[in-house]
């Protein structure tokens, strides 16, 4: 199943309601599961981003829907990146001319 790394920043609304973040994280995990995916990792981080999340989803379309649905709530802005694991990396490199 494809993996995705999501870089998250709280919006003004999200940081004002930061104490609700654990409930929102649980709701996100439930949405990922309902979409057929898995929440692999969830980190509070220091630096340019507030959170880093690693998920698996059945496909890019599902990942995009999850990102859009989450962002539409107004608490976070996200940057989602498709991540290739070591096996996928090797297959991609092996296919180079």
Which residues have CB under 8 Å from 63's CB, separation 6+? 2, 4, 37, 55, 57, 80, 82
- Residue 58 confidence (pLDDT): 97
- Residue 43 confidence (pLDDT): 98
| Residues forming beta bridges with residue 44, ordered by sequence position | 51
The domain locations on the chain are: 3-74
Which residues have CB under 8 Å from 4's CB, separation 6+? 54, 55, 56, 57, 63, 80, 81, 82, 83
pLDDT in tens, 13-70: 999 999 999 999 999 999 999 999 999 999 999 999 999 999 999 999 999 999 999 9
Cβ atoms of 8 and 51 within 8 Å: the answer is yes
- Residue 42 confidence (pLDDT): 97
Say which CATH topology domain 3-74 has: Alpha-Beta Plaits (3.30.70)
pTM of the model: 0.92
- Residue 70 confidence (pLDDT): 96
């Amino acid at each position: 199943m494809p993996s995705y790394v999501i870089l998250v920043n709280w919006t003004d609304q999200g940081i004002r309601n930061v104490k609700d973040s654990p409930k929102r994280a649980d709701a996100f995990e439930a949405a990922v599961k309902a979409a057929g995916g898995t929440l692999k990792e969830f980190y509070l981080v220091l630096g340019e981003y507030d959170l880093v999340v690693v998920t698996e989803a059945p496909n890019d379309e599902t990942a995009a829907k999850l990102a859009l649905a989450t962002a539409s709530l107004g608490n976070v802005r996200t940057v989602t990146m498709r991540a290739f694991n070591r096996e996928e990396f090797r297959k991609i490199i092996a296919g180079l001319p």
